[in-house]
């Protein structure tokens, strides 16, 4: 039963990273490098953040959980707005690089920090949970990257606009979700 809980948590946490992987790969022209970079970075962050949340839950979770949604909203919205602004620029200036994907990795994994504060309470093995969350995220993001490449090739003219809007929506959703709780 614990394994099923971990799988469901991993799937739930990877939803934002899945969407961000699609967006990042829309313009990457079938780049396997981008697909693996997104998958690896998002997987690592999704695995590390719950562990950090678990370690710091005793002293700092109340402070981070008070602003995590604002941080995710800010980062995702800024990246989304930049994508929309740059949609008419030449392609070589608009490709996702390590820095952008790294920031997306942080933005999409902040909620995993909060989940980490509850892993111990749920009676789940912390290290196994973090490893499984990372693997699930990696695999789902790899699939998402190939979906994004397919969409980007067939709809390149509007992919940045769509991608920017998706990131902004994820940011707004994260903010609303946390404010409604």
Range of weakest confidence among 11-20, 44-53, 79-88, 127-136? 79-88
Residues 40-75 have pLDDT tens digits of 999 999 999 999 988 887 676 567 667 777 877 887
Q: How confident is the model at residue 138 (pLDDT cuts 50, 70, 90)?
A: very high
**Chain position carrying tokens 């003219």:** 157
Dihedral through CA 70, CA 139, CA 12, CA 22, nearest 10?
50
**Chain position carrying tokens 């008070």:** 66
Highest average pLDDT, of 8-12, 82-86, 89-93, comes from 8-12
Q: Token digits for 60?
A: 């700092």
Prediction pTM value: 0.73
Residue 93 has pLDDT above 50, yes or no: no
Highest average pLDDT, of 7-11, 120-124, 163-167, comes from 7-11
Dihedral through CA 130, CA 131, CA 137, CA 142, nearest 10?
160
- Domain limits, the chain: 2-180
Percent of the chain with pLDDT over 70: 80
From residue 73, give the alpha-carbon distance in Å to each of 15, 50, 160, 174, 179.
15, 19, 19, 6, 12
Percent of the chain with pLDDT over 90: 20
């Amino acid at each position: 039963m614990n394994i099923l809980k971990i799988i469901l948590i991993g799937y739930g946490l990877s939803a934002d990273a899945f969407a961000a992987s699609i967006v990042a790969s829309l313009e990457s022209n079938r780049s396997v490098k981008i697909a693996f970079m997104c998958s690896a970075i998002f997987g690592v962050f999704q695995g590390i953040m719950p562990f950090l949340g678990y370690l710091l839950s005793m002293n700092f979770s109340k402070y981070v959980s008070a602003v995590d949604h604002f941080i995710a909203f800010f980062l995702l919205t800024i990246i989304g707005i930049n994508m929309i602004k740059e949609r008419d620029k030449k392609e070589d200036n608009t490709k996702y690089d390590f820095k952008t994907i790294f920031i997306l990795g942080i933005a999409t994994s902040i909620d995993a920090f909060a989940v980490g504060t509850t892993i111990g309470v749920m009676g789940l093995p912390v290290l196994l949970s973090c490893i499984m969350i990372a693997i699930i995220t990696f695999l789902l993001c790899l699939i998402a990257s190939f979906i994004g490449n397919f969409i980007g090739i067939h709809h390149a003219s509007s992919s940045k606009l769509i991608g920017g809007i998706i990131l902004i929506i994820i940011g707004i959703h994260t903010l609303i979700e946390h404010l409604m709780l």
